[in-house]
């Protein structure tokens, strides 16, 4: 059985890695830093925004990572890459790319035992969202150019059951 101190250390280390991945992304891609709010433990359901990308995590830890963002933030990022006519498909693509970039950069720090899936992207609110069991859910608030988004890190020591959304 895992000592609860090990679990707390896991979460603190993992959250710090994700915060650094977020900071690096906005510095590199946008040239304008994002403000990172204080991560907090999510109780109950998360309010997902307009577009959400989910990355599954397996290996030494298991669970998932969500990036959820409003349309205006995604449109602003699309303009940075010369996409001036945003569509739902482009918004979904960039949301998935952001989630993949955050999680991929975290994987570089967390090691080869942090295995990630391709992103699954959806718009709006799912009818039902089942969070992985045996995990804690932490929200990292992100503000970029006055637009709020969130990274939700939901991982724990194996065995965690995968999350499901319908």
Domains and CATH numbers, the chain: 4-165 (3.40.1550.10)
In this prediction, residues 48-70 reach a mean pLDDT of: 93
pLDDT in tens, 65-103: 999 999 999 999 999 999 899 999 999 999 999 999 999
Task: Report the C-alpha gap between 153 and 84 in whole angstroms.
Answer: 31
- Do 5 and 130 contact (CB within 8 A), yes or no? no
What are the start-end ranges of the E strands in 15-146? 35-36, 40-41, 51-59, 62-69, 114-116, 120-123, 129-130, 136-144
DSSP state of 32: S
Q: Which of 6-20, 68-82, 98-112 has the highest mean pLDDT?
A: 68-82
Average pLDDT, the chain: 87
SS3 label, residue 53: strand
Q: Which of 66, 79, 102, 80 is CA-nearest to residue 29?
A: 80
pLDDT-above-70 percentage for the chain: 89
0.95 exceeded by the pTM?
Answer: no
In this prediction, residues 119-140 reach a mean pLDDT of: 89
């Amino acid at each position: 059985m895992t000592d609860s101190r090990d679990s707390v250390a896991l979460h603190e280390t993992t959250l710090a890695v994700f915060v650094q991945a977020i900071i690096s992304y906005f510095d590199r891609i946008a040239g304008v830093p994002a403000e990172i709010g204080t991560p907090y433990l999510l109780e109950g359901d998360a309010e997902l925004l307009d577009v959400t990308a989910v990355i599954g995590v397996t290996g030494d830890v298991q669970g998932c990572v969500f990036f959820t963002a409003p349309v205006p933030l995604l449109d602003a990022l699309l303009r940075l890459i010369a996409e001036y006519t945003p569509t739902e498909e482009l918004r979904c693509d960039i949301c998935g790319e952001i989630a993949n970039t955050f999680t991929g950069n975290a994987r570089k720090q967390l090691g080869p035992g942090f295995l990630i899936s391709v992103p699954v992207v959806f718009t709006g609110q799912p009818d039902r969202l089942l969070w992985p069991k045996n995990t804690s859910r932490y929200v990292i608030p992100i503000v970029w150019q006055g637009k709020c988004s969130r990274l939700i890190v939901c991982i724990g020591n194996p065995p965690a059951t995968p999350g499901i959304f319908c």
